[in-house]
Amino acid sequence: MKIGFIGLGIMGGRMAHNLLTKGHDLIVYNRTPAKAAALMAEGAKWAETPADLAQKVDILFTMLSTPEVIQTLAANENGFLDALPKGALWVDCSTVNPGFARWMAAVAGARGVRFLDAPVAGTKGPAGSGDLIFLVGGNAEDLAQCRPLLDCMGKKIVYLGGAGNGAAMKMLFNLMLGNAMAAYSEALVLGEALGLSRQTVADVILDTPVAAPFLKMKQALIDQDEFEAHFPLRWMRKDLHLVAQTAYEKGVALPALNAVKEIYALAEKHGLGEKDFAAIYRYLAT
Amino acid sequence: MKIGFIGLGIMGGRMAHNLLTKGHDLIVYNRTPAKAAALMAEGAKWAETPADLAQKVDILFTMLSTPEVIQTLAANENGFLDALPKGALWVDCSTVNPGFARWMAAVAGARGVRFLDAPVAGTKGPAGSGDLIFLVGGNAEDLAQCRPLLDCMGKKIVYLGGAGNGAAMKMLFNLMLGNAMAAYSEALVLGEALGLSRQTVADVILDTPVAAPFLKMKQALIDQDEFEAHFPLRWMRKDLHLVAQTAYEKGVALPALNAVKEIYALAEKHGLGEKDFAAIYRYLAT
Amino acid sequence: MKIGFIGLGIMGGRMAHNLLTKGHDLIVYNRTPAKAAALMAEGAKWAETPADLAQKVDILFTMLSTPEVIQTLAANENGFLDALPKGALWVDCSTVNPGFARWMAAVAGARGVRFLDAPVAGTKGPAGSGDLIFLVGGNAEDLAQCRPLLDCMGKKIVYLGGAGNGAAMKMLFNLMLGNAMAAYSEALVLGEALGLSRQTVADVILDTPVAAPFLKMKQALIDQDEFEAHFPLRWMRKDLHLVAQTAYEKGVALPALNAVKEIYALAEKHGLGEKDFAAIYRYLAT
Amino acid sequence: MKIGFIGLGIMGGRMAHNLLTKGHDLIVYNRTPAKAAALMAEGAKWAETPADLAQKVDILFTMLSTPEVIQTLAANENGFLDALPKGALWVDCSTVNPGFARWMAAVAGARGVRFLDAPVAGTKGPAGSGDLIFLVGGNAEDLAQCRPLLDCMGKKIVYLGGAGNGAAMKMLFNLMLGNAMAAYSEALVLGEALGLSRQTVADVILDTPVAAPFLKMKQALIDQDEFEAHFPLRWMRKDLHLVAQTAYEKGVALPALNAVKEIYALAEKHGLGEKDFAAIYRYLAT
């Protein structure tokens, strides 16, 4: 079974590394070739174009930043979509809106290509250690086929039914993350203004059931004050935009989400887009 | 040491019960006398007015709904403030804004009465089982004196420094609670609109680090669809208003909090004020 | 010069009527044929499909509800795009996001078809009386060619430069309208809660420079309490969504707009989508 | 009839000047005495304390920044409240919440002092030219008595009924102003991001019924880019906070207002508090 991997950023690079080091051959492609260097040193083969890669593989993983980028690499000149062999399996691990995931499933299906949306919960750390959670939509048999590969990259696989359902659940994760990070940042800023030290607030709140456990990791970023990106703020903004767009399409009102989305938008405008999304704290604090 | 307890609602009634059953004599007062009946059957003595109660006690606990109610019972005719003996200790467990807590400390001090702000984390369940968390501001020696009594009602005491700091920390708890409940409700509503079952969303999300652990208890209320009030939605609205007011006073911007506050306001307008604040889900879902 | 008109709803029907009664022959198409009946009684010719219409015209006007509908009628089976003669002029009067307007310009250009985005300011009333304001993007010579036709439907033509600029300006109009309507509704509701009569609030505020003049017309709808749709609330929601999407694409933060957008979303969920967007008052008032 | 004036800032100074130059004797007080210099050069008499002033006047005007400042000057040591002669008339022109206006009416009444709340619509310009609009609550006969004085300062007097109703209507004005300024700023920022020039957007929008007429004056401030304060941004934030507080007290939900309030809060945090509130544009644009 020949495996291709397109998209070697913070997440994709680590995921591909785990496939390689657990014994799988890999053909890789990335728009910025330099990011493939480490993987090639580990034995990955390079493909000159997405199409080049696609025609050589049975399973294609994509881990890309936006629907627009996926569409470009899939369907533009030298795109992978028309090059994939009939019967191949395309597993998209990107975070996209469910509507786009269903579009991918449809265009793949129209070409005889099978499709799974398999976005992941977990950022840089779990991607590196192979502890991601895969949220999978599509055909259960297709999942069964690639499950051993997902097991190389993640610790848990949640099967959610038809195409787009993995993307749907991923929306909800990022809604929860983005909102909790904003709320906690507001709590810290208010607490400090009231004369409580940031350390005290963190110690008391993060140890109780009112705080999402992931915030402990983010507290470390806040304390270091560097906000090295595990999950860049501009991606969080993008994801919350996709959540808002999906809510619009489904006739759902999300007033809290939309308010939070705009705080990230302001923070990005103020130069924090490349920082971890925990930098929303810095935006609100200063 | 004679103990008085004013305010016998959902929280105060259970707290007073724990003091009684753990061996302490209690004089009680409540604006609605009927709510004192069960406690009197357990041996509590009734006082006709707050002043009547105050002149007989060394330690006074208050657990009331708003700053306005406290002010009325403290300072209006037959109020407890002028009736407390010099050197008495007033422990206010209500949720109020730090500014008001500092006002209480000041008016108490002006009369030779000691004061602690000691609001609690935890609602009906922990109040009943004596598992509250006390967030305490004021003088450490005053806390030492009443600590055995707090231990009858709670499992943990967090000392936070000067007067008002307990109230300050409590603000942050309710900010976290109100926001997380709203965000999770939005996630559920969006998930259902996308074809995921509510059970699936709950099972997947509540088991991961993106969700505050208290949401599991609220999920039970959502599933029962009764929303019996552990913590009424209109109190949550009140508390978030106090948070917003405190932020204003301190020059802090809280865009997410203010958006969430207005969702609770809309839900209250739509008749859900007496339900548990988890009923914000019902408001958003229908 | 043969003229086609696709989209005969509240706006398009009135605009086509003005072209007809001012002496122009018209071929029309509408997905719901019944809406064409009155125009056909006035002499308009019916086309069975968009393609059928397109191959017979030199100028095509479209006035449709969403980008999705335009895309369907343009590019699906029997769509008008491939049927338009080379050199024809397509004038789209719909309200769409600038990104989509530029897409229309591009796909038209690729087929040798000229394109203007010419959305209108003004709703049902000005559409009927020929008093619309056209906000036009595209080639100035193309505008010169169709100006006499626009003059039949509107009282003012604002030329804004390249393709998409008309759509861009229209975004701003609806941002202003949606926001002012929401703010005024909040003012009314608060005023009434404070004991001022709605009539008093309207009389005082609408006569001062703090109120956008269009609100006087909306006040009449509020007083009648029927909210017959001049501009349906669900279209306002759609347009504000397009504004938010455009802001996202351009890296702009619009916190007020996004908050307002969600009030319309809530109002639509509560059954007010087919009412005039002034019904946001009813949603907030009850 | 002896007239006192307390509060000689941007607004009060100009109003007092108009009283003086139209022939009325005036005793004045201001916390910062320097601000009284120009008026004293015009013949105003200085009082050392509020009480000092109060005991010498039949009518007292106050034009102060916040409820807290009024309370301090009224009721603290040397406050004016206990010094006003029985039967005197206190006319408060400050912008305060209706609850506080009713408190002023009550404490005045308890001392045999008559009270009108008479906040003004209009900022620096109309204050200078005597073109303010007075929004008056209280007793109609009391208004009749001071009407000639109000006519020296304003061009229009709107009588709104009982005490607090003037303050209530003023809330609504500032809600409208704050919101429209934010919405228009967002429109400008989005328009510029879309490639429309600021001048074009202003020319097109400000000339149509979608824009509140006061925005034309603010456009001048935006073009000058100095934002010299006609109405300081931090006062707008204060007023919107009072609106939000009043809405809370009345059980009204104002989601748009609360969102807008926090944009001003962010702008103030970013150093724009002393600028005109039109500087919210600068905050959103950069």
Averaged pLDDT for residues B154-177: 97
- Does the beta-carbon distance from C262 to A241 stay under 8 Å? no
Rounded to 5 degrees, φ, ψ at B143 are -65, -45
CA distance D143 to D163: 11
Q: How many helices (H) and strands (E) does chain A have?
A: 13, 9
> What percent of chain B clears pLDDT 70, i.e. is strictly above it?
100
Averaged pLDDT for residues D191-201: 97
Closest residue in B to D241 (Cα) is B248
What would the two tokens of residue D169 be? 């209507």
CA of C266 vs chain A CAs: smallest distance (Å): 6
pLDDT at C82: 96
Strand partners, B146: none
Residue ranges of chain C assigned to CATH 3.40.50.720: 3-161
A252: chain C residues, CB-CB within 8 Å: 265, 269
Active site residues per annotation of D: 170
pLDDT at A1: 85
CA distance A162 to A129: 29
Q: Which fold has domain C168-285?
A: N-(1-d-carboxylethyl)-l-norvaline Dehydrogenase; domain 2 (1.10.1040)
Structure confidence at residue D202 as a pLDDT band (50, 70, 90): very high
CA distance D51 to B48: 42
CA of B58 vs chain D CAs: smallest distance (Å): 33
Sequence-distant (6+) residues with CB within 8 A of B264 are B178, B182, B233, B236, B237, B240, B277, B280
Catalytic residue among B56, B86, B170, B218: B170
> What percent of chain D clears pLDDT 70, i.e. is strictly above it?
100
- Does the beta-carbon distance from B265 to D259 stay under 8 Å? no
CA distance C40 to C21: 12
Residue B44 contacts residue B36 (beta carbons within 8 Å):
yes
Phi-psi region of D87 (alpha: psi -120 to 50; beta: other; left: phi over 0): left
Closest residue in B to A259 (Cα) is B256
Closest residue in A to C271 (Cα) is A251
- Does the beta-carbon distance from D183 to C262 stay under 8 Å? no
Residues of A near D (Cβ–Cβ under 8 Å) read 255, 259, 266
- Does the beta-carbon distance from B262 to D261 stay under 8 Å? no
The dihedral through the CA atoms of C224, C226, C229, C232 has a sign that is positive
Long-range contacts of A22-31 (CB under 8 A, 24+ apart): A22/A152, A24/A149, A24/A152, A27/A2, A27/A3, A27/A53, A27/A56, A27/A57, A28/A4, A28/A53, A29/A4, A29/A5, A29/A53, A30/A6, A31/A69, A31/A73
B262: chain A residues, CB-CB within 8 Å: 255
Residue ranges of chain B assigned to CATH 3.40.50.720: 3-162
pLDDT at D1: 85
pLDDT at A67: 94
Closest residue in D to A265 (Cα) is D284
CA of D256 vs chain B CAs: smallest distance (Å): 9
Averaged pLDDT for residues D27-50: 96
Question: Is the confidence metric ipTM above 0.90 for this complex?
Answer: yes
AA identity, residue D124: K
Burial C199-236 (b: 16+ CB within 10 A, else e): ebbbebbbebbbbbebbeebbebbeeeebebbbbbbbb
Q: Is the pLDDT of residue C47 over 90?
A: yes
CA of B2 vs chain A CAs: smallest distance (Å): 32
pLDDT at D209: 94
Averaged pLDDT for residues B57-66: 97
C135: chain D residues, CB-CB within 8 Å: 204
pLDDT at C131: 96
pLDDT at C1: 85
Nearest to D254 among C161, C186, C214 (CB): C186
Nearest to A204 among B158, B194, B243 (CB): B158
Q: Is the pLDDT of residue B46 over 90?
A: yes
Mean pLDDT, chain C, whole residue set:
97
CA of A181 vs chain C CAs: smallest distance (Å): 18
CA distance B54 to B203: 50
- Looking up tokens 């991606």 gives A235
CA distance B112 to B76: 19
Rounded to 5 degrees, φ, ψ at D94 are -65, 160
D259: chain C residues, CB-CB within 8 Å: 255-256, 258-260
- Does the beta-carbon distance from A243 to B133 stay under 8 Å? no
Q: Is the pLDDT of residue B1 over 90?
A: no
All chains having 3 or more CB pairs closer than 8 angstroms to chain B: A, C, D
pLDDT at C265: 98
Which residues of chain A are modeled with pLDDT < 70?
none
D259: chain A residues, CB-CB within 8 Å: 259
AA identity, residue A124: K
Q: What is the pLDDT of residues D97-146, one digit of tens each?
A: 999 999 999 999 999 999 999 999 998 999 999 999 999 999 999 999 99
Q: Is B170 in the active site?
A: yes
DSSP calls for B35-54: GGHHHHHTTPEE-SSHHHHH
- Name the nearest CA neighbour of B216 among B230, B226, B205: B205
DSSP calls for B186-250: HHHHHHHHTT--HHHHHHHHTTSTTS-TTHHHHHHHHHHT----SSBHHHHHHHHHHHHHHHHHH
CA of B269 vs chain C CAs: smallest distance (Å): 8
Interface test with chain B among C192, C266, C280, by most B beta carbons within 10 Å: C266
Closest residue in C to B270 (Cα) is C286
CA distance C260 to C180: 10
- Name the nearest CA neighbour of A266 among D224, D175, D188, C258: C258
- Looking up tokens 């696989």 gives A157
C211: chain D residues, CB-CB within 8 Å: 176, 212
Averaged pLDDT for residues B7-12: 96
Averaged pLDDT for residues B115-132: 95
D256: chain C residues, CB-CB within 8 Å: 179, 182-183, 186, 256, 259-260, 263
Q: Is the pLDDT of residue D266 over 90?
A: yes
pLDDT at D227: 97
- Does the beta-carbon distance from D258 to B254 stay under 8 Å? no
Residues of D near A (Cβ–Cβ under 8 Å) read 255, 259, 266
Residue ranges of chain D assigned to CATH 1.10.1040.10: 168-285
Residue A245 contacts residue C245 (beta carbons within 8 Å):
yes
Active site residues per annotation of A: 170
Q: What is the pLDDT of residues D79-99, one digit of tens each?
A: 999 999 999 999 999 999 999
pLDDT at B4: 98
Q: Is the pLDDT of residue C170 over 90?
A: yes
Closest residue in B to A199 (Cα) is B160
CA distance A104 to A107: 5
pLDDT at B139: 97
- Does the beta-carbon distance from B171 to A194 stay under 8 Å? yes
Q: How many CB pairs under 8 A join A and D?
A: 3
Q: From 3.40.50.720, 3.30.420.40, 3.20.20.210, 1.20.140.10, which CATH number describes the B3-162 domain? A: 3.40.50.720
- Does the beta-carbon distance from A262 to C245 stay under 8 Å? no
CA of A149 vs chain D CAs: smallest distance (Å): 44
Half-sphere exposure of A111 (CA within 13 A, CB side): 19
What would the two tokens of residue B267 be? 């839900």
Averaged pLDDT for residues C237-255: 97
Closest residue in C to D245 (Cα) is C190
- Does the beta-carbon distance from D262 to B258 stay under 8 Å? yes
Q: What CATH number labels C3-161?
A: 3.40.50.720
